[in-house]
């Protein structure tokens, strides 16, 4: 007979104390009626990306659990934004559930009140499964999904952090340490640039519109951090904005490959995965193709992951995100909410993380040691994600004309890369051009 | 006997038209709903400050006034004309030359002709994606070919100075076969008598081409010119996929500008005004070409 030790006794006591809560939880789980909306059909309009593919691939699970059928379509991002805006504006959208890029459409969706406030559904125990665990969503993600008036008209799904990818072999060849600040990044990138070998220290987005999110990474490190003040005044021609643009321009011009003023993420990805660039700052979702041995020369341990470097005043990384909303006009609101619970549930969020489809909005996925250990991504990748989540800040202003902002400021940034560009003048011209657009938009609000 | 019967015919036709007028109603409804209504609605929208998701209000001619001072619109218009001029003239020259070559008999002519017209069958977006990969300044096959021949690499679509000519190159590759097919059809229908007469009179091959082939082919060339001009003016898919109007705004043609205003910035009122102005431009150009065609025929 084994002796009962103090530790065993304590464990048993803790178990007894926890028993009522566990029994209550199991009881509630059993009591929750997943079949309440059996026979209904939910139409989901999603953006075409690896996460939507995962949801569509596994939606049979949801259909078997609830008896609700799902008609899901996934449309390329830019076309999807136009489609849902036009359908919402028509007053009769063809979908019940919609995927929304918060960094582009949050304010537009919020201002027009196109989506239902999900807070009431979250707080309704007859509508929300006990294991939904809303507290598991990161605070930043929840804040990103919440409108200025306190309405939470979307449920966070995915958070995209801008991280710094680096080529371990190139850095090791010159004994260069991973830079912690933008100044260090410039020095390292400059040292690693050798055009005669078609080897460049840095690659990044230069194409108008696409380039603004990279430039924001630099601006977030300055004292002002944001592009628009809380009073909705443009801050894109200030001394901090000039510093960010100068840093962006000299990295692109002196350390980047020729022609990078026309580079979008796909050209950057190709250049980096072919081993031609030492550093690349972009969305965390590119880890999957970089680690794909069929496509990338750097797959299998040659890609390094680090948080975006710090600026002279602050240390942040750009945050972007997507979320799901339920159309205000939907006649199947209950079934749609069930779909949202499943889609943003812990199982799917873990799938996002381990497949490299993107960083989930829930914190629990990052704590799943077993899944992380068996992932094809190195631990450094997950650590970078966790650290990025602590310093993340929206990379684009929460205004309605975001695309016009990106086009106008983006043109100035493209021009800034050119040799001899007058950066303050370029920024002033773009700011003056966009200011009336922003003012008109705010007046309408 | 014949004259009274002929005189009665118009009356019978009028009677016939009165009795069966409703036969044209379906066609009329289709024209009204698919062509006239969208046009009337576009005109209506162009007189409003109309934002998707933001309501609308009447502004009269303000959108048209804004176009007069919008530098971005002016540059987009100029770029469209520059692109159109190049994307019409080059395929016309190469297409006519190709037709003259393929009109002659030579071994494997059928195979060569099939290969020549293959680009026309490709989907524009797929074509654009393939060209984009080939244009990559460091990893694209085009620069590899240039350096292989000892030539300096080009920046292709990644330089404001070369982006429009590069896009024209894609357009030429894609649509020269169409011009060639139209002209080849014309060549096949030409009578042989003038050539025999010219041969007897001692005309050279160049003289026969200049004084016989070209005048007889002119109606076909004008048809190809009209089709190419309209196609080049409305080119959007390849430009959007390859450059999205960049670098900066250096390849932002009127269609890209229009698309951004309407479907990226949601300024439907302003975009509608651009549509109206652009439509008038196309009508003016098409009328000029049709007038030319009538002159050529006459």
Q: What is the pLDDT of residue B8?
A: 52
pLDDT interval class at B1 (50, 70, 90): very low
3-state class (DSSP) for residue A163: strand
Q: What is the pLDDT of residue A433?
A: 94
Q: What is the pLDDT of residue B20?
A: 83
Q: What is the pLDDT of residue B53?
A: 74
What's the angle, vertex CA B228, arms to CA B223 and CA B230, rounded to 5?
Answer: 100
Distance set, CA B35 to CA B29, B85, B262, B270, B283 (Å): 10, 28, 20, 20, 15
CB contact under 8 A, B244 and A257: no
CB neighbours of A322 closer than 8 A, spacing ≥ 6? Answer: A47, A51, A99, A100, A101, A102, A156, A157, A158, A160
CB-CB neighbours of B196 under 10 Å: 10
Query: Quick one: which of A147, A37, A138, A156 has its CA closest to A364?
Result: A138
Q: What is the pLDDT of residue A30?
A: 55
Tokens representing B160 are 């404001």
Average of per-residue pLDDT values in chain B: 90
pLDDT interval class at A434 (50, 70, 90): very high
**Bridge partners, A310 (sequence order):** A181
CB neighbours of A260 closer than 8 A, spacing ≥ 6? Answer: A203, A204, A206, A252, A267, A268, A417, B158
Q: What is the pLDDT of residue A66?
A: 96
Q: What is the pLDDT of residue A195?
A: 94
The alpha carbons of chain A give a radius of gyration, in whole angstroms, of 24
Q: What is the pLDDT of residue A178?
A: 97
User: Chain A: nearest CA to B230, how far in angstroms?
Assistant: 25
Helix axis angle, B268-297 relative to B37-46, nearest 10°? 130
Tokens representing A369 are 């040691």
In the predicted model, is pLDDT for residue A12 greater than 60? no
pLDDT, average across residues A183-206:
96
The DSSP call for residue A203 is E
Query: Quick one: which of A82, A71, A41, A2 has its CA closest to A334?
Result: A41
Residues of B in contact with A414 (CB under 8 A): 246-248
- Judged by average pLDDT, the poorest of A88-92, A333-337, A426-430, B95-99 is A88-92
**How many A/B residue pairs have CB atoms within 8 Å?**
86
- Residue A416: closest CA among chain B residues belongs to which residue? B248
Query: Maximum CA pair distance of chain B?
Result: 85
Distance CA A261, CA A414 (A): 6
Of A89, A260, A274, the CB nearest to B139: A274
pLDDT interval class at A369 (50, 70, 90): confident
**Per-residue pLDDT tens over the stretch B127-162:** 999 999 999 998 899 999 999 999 999 999 999 999
Residues of B in contact with A100 (CB under 8 A): none
Q: What is the pLDDT of residue A396?
A: 95
Residues of A in contact with B131 (CB under 8 A): none
In the predicted model, is pLDDT for residue A29 greater than 70? no
Q: What is the pLDDT of residue A261?
A: 92
Tokens 């209504």 belong to which residue? B37
In the predicted model, is pLDDT for residue A25 greater than 80? no
Distance set, CA B231 to CA A142, A220, A435, B81, B122 (Å): 48, 45, 37, 12, 16
**Per-residue pLDDT tens over the stretch A384-411:** 988 998 899 999 999 999 999 999 999 9
The DSSP call for residue A176 is P
Of B54, B136, B246, the CB nearest to A207: B246
Tokens representing A125 are 């125990």
Distance set, CA A220 to CA A188, A209, A216, A318, B297 (Å): 21, 18, 6, 8, 67
Most B CBs within 10 Å, among A259, A268, A295, A325, to test the B interface = A259
Residues of B in contact with A400 (CB under 8 A): 53-54
Tokens representing A344 are 């943003």
pLDDT interval class at A8 (50, 70, 90): very low
pLDDT > 90: percent of chain A: 77
**Per-residue pLDDT tens over the stretch B51-98:** 887 778 999 999 999 999 999 999 999 999 999 999 999 999 999 999
Query: Maximum CA pair distance of chain A?
Result: 86
In the predicted model, is pLDDT for residue A170 greater than 50? yes
CB-CB neighbours of B8 under 10 Å: 10
Interface check A257 vs B, CB under 8 A:
yes
Most B CBs within 10 Å, among A93, A262, A328, to test the B interface = A262
The alpha carbons of chain B give a radius of gyration, in whole angstroms, of 25
**Bridge partners, A429 (sequence order):** none
Most A CBs within 10 Å, among B247, B249, B267, to test the A interface = B247
Cβ contact A244:A225 at 8 Å? no
Interface check A444 vs B, CB under 8 A:
yes
The helix or strand, by DSSP H or E, that contains position A200, with its residue range, turns out to be: strand A200-203
- Residue B259: closest CA among chain A residues belongs to which residue? A82
CB contact under 8 A, B248 and A78: no
CB contact under 8 A, A263 and B53: no
**Per-residue pLDDT tens over the stretch A60-114:** 999 999 999 999 999 988 889 989 999 998 889 999 999 999 999 999 999 999 9
Of A208, A257, A258, the CB nearest to B246: A208
In the predicted model, is pLDDT for residue A154 greater than 90? yes
3-state class (DSSP) for residue A221: coil
Of A407, A411, A444, the CB nearest to B54: A444
Residue B86 has φ and ψ, to the nearest 5°, of -70, -40
Distance CA B180, CA B114 (A): 12
Distance CA B123, CA A75 (A): 19
Within 381-410 of A, beta carbons closer than 8 Å to B belong to 400-401, 403-404, 407
Residues of B in contact with A415 (CB under 8 A): 248
Helices (H), chain B: 2-19, 25-31, 37-46, 62-69, 71-102, 109-121, 124-135, 141-148, 163-188, 193-200, 205-208, 214-233, 237-242, 254-259, 268-297
**Bridge partners, A280 (sequence order):** A165, A203
pTM for the full model? 0.84
Average of per-residue pLDDT values in chain A: 90
Interface check A208 vs B, CB under 8 A:
yes
Q: What is the pLDDT of residue A331?
A: 95
Distance CA A418, CA A52 (A): 39
**Per-residue pLDDT tens over the stretch A259-279:** 999 999 999 999 999 999 999
ipTM of the complex, rounded to two decimals: 0.79
Cβ contact A249:A271 at 8 Å? no
User: Chain A: nearest CA to B275, how far in angstroms?
Assistant: 18
CB contact under 8 A, A78 and B139: no
Q: What is the pLDDT of residue A324?
A: 97
User: Chain A: nearest CA to B266, how far in angstroms?
Assistant: 9
Residues of A in contact with B52 (CB under 8 A): 85-86, 89
User: Chain A: nearest CA to B246, how far in angstroms?
Assistant: 6
Distance CA A324, CA A43 (A): 13
Residues of B in contact with A82 (CB under 8 A): 263-264
The helix or strand, by DSSP H or E, that contains position A71, with its residue range, turns out to be: strand A69-75
Q: What is the pLDDT of residue A251?
A: 97
What's the angle, vertex CA B291, arms to CA B97 and CA B195, rounded to 5?
Answer: 40
Distance CA A264, CA A206 (A): 6
3-state class (DSSP) for residue A132: helix
pLDDT, average across residues B215-222:
91
pLDDT > 70: percent of chain B: 96
User: Chain B: nearest CA to A259, how far in angstroms?
Assistant: 5
Distance CA A100, CA A121 (A): 19
Tokens representing A418 are 């050119």
CB neighbours of A61 closer than 8 A, spacing ≥ 6? Answer: A342
Question: Judging by beta carbons within 10 Å of its beta carbon (0-12, 13-18, 19+), is residue B283 exposed, middle or buried?
Answer: exposed
Interface check A265 vs B, CB under 8 A:
no
pLDDT, average across residues B170-192:
94
């Amino acid at each position: 007979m084994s002796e009962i030790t103090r530790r065993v006794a304590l464990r048993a006591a803790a178990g007894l104390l926890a028993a009522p809560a566990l029994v209550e939880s199991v009881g509630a789980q059993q009591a929750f009626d997943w079949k309440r909306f059996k026979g209904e059909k939910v139409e989901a309009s999603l953006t075409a990306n690896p996460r939507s593919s995962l949801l569509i691939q596994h939606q049979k699970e949801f259909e078997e659990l609830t008896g609700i059928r799902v008609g899901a379509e996934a449309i390329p991002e830019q076309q999807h934004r136009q489609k849902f805006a036009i359908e919402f504006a028509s007053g009769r959208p063809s979908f019940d559930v919609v995927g929304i890029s918060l960094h582009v459409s949050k304010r537009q969706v919020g201002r027009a009140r196109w989506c239902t406030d999900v807070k009431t559904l979250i707080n309704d125990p007859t509508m929300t499964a006990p294991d939904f665990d809303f507290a598991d969503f990161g605070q930043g993600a929840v804040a990103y999904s919440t409108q200025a008036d306190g309405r939470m008209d979307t449920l966070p799904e995915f958070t995209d952090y801008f991280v710094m990818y680096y080529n371990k072999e190139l850095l090791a060849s010159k004994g260069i340490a991973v830079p912690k600040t933008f100044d260090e990044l410039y020095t390292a990138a400059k040292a690693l640039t050798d055009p005669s070998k078609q080897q460049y220290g840095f690659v990044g987005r230069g194409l108008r519109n696409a380039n603004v999110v990279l430039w924001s990474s630099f601006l977030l490190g300055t004292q002002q951090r944001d592009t628009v003040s809380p009073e909705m005044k443009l801050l894109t021609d200030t001394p901090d904005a000039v510093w960010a643009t100068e840093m962006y321009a000299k990295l692109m011009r002196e350390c980047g490959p020729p022609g990078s003023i026309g580079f979008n993420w796909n050209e950057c990805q190709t250049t980096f995965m072919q081993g031609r660039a030492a550093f690349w700052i972009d969305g965390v979702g590119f880890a999957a193709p970089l680690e794909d041995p069929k496509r990338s020369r750097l797959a299998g341990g040659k890609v390094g992951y680090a948080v975006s470097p710090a600026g002279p005043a602050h240390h942040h990384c750009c945050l972007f995100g997507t979320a799901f909303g339920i159309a205000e006009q939907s006649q199947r609101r209950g079934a749609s909410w069930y779909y949202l619970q499943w889609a943003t549930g812990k199982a799917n969020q873990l799938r996002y993380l381990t497949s490299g489809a993107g960083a989930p909005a829930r914190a629990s996925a990052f704590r799943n040691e077993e899944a992380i250990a068996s992932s094809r991504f190195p631990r450094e990748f997950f650590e970078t994600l966790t650290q990025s989540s602590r310093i993340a800040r929206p990379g684009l202003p929460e205004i309605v004309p975001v695309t016009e902002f990106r086009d106008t400021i983006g043109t100035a940034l493209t021009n800034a890369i050119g040799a001899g560009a007058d950066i303050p003048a370029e920024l002033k011209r773009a700011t003056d051009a966009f200011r009336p657009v922003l003012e008109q938009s705010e007046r309408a609000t | 006997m014949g004259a009274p019967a002929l005189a009665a015919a118009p009356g019978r036709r009028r009677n016939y038209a009165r009795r069966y007028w409703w036969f044209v109603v379906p066609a009329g409804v289709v024209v009204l709903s698919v062509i006239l209504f969208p046009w009337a609605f576009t005109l209506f929208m162009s007189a409003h400050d109309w934002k998707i998701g933001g309501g609308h209000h009447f502004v009269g001619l303000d959108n048209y006034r804004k176009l007069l001072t919008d530098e971005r619109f002016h540059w987009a218009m100029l770029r469209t004309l520059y692109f159109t001029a190049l994307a019409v003239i080059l395929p016309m020259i190469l297409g006519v030359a190709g037709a003259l070559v393929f009109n002659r008999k030579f071994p494997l002519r059928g195979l060569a002709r099939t290969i020549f017209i293959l680009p026309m069958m490709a989907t524009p977006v797929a074509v654009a994606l393939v060209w984009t990969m080939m244009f990559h300044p460091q990893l694209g096959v085009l620069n590899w070919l240039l350096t292989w021949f000892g030539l300096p690499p080009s920046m292709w679509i990644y330089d404001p100075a070369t982006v429009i000519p590069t896009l024209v190159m894609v357009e030429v590759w894609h649509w020269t076969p169409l011009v060639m097919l139209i002209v080849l059809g014309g060549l096949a229908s030409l009578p042989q008598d003038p050539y025999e007469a010219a041969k007897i009179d001692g005309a050279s091959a160049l003289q026969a081409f200049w004084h016989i082939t070209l005048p007889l082919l002119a109606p076909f060339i004008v048809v190809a010119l009209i089709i190419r001009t309209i196609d080049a003016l409305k080119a959007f898919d390849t430009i959007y996929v390859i450059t999205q109007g960049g670098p900066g705004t250096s390849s932002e043609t009127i269609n890209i500008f229009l698309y951004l205003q309407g479907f990226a910035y949601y300024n439907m009122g302003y975009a509608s005004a651009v549509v109206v102005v652009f439509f008038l431009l196309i009508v003016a150009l098409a009328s000029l070409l049709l007038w030319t065609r009538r002159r050529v025929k006459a």
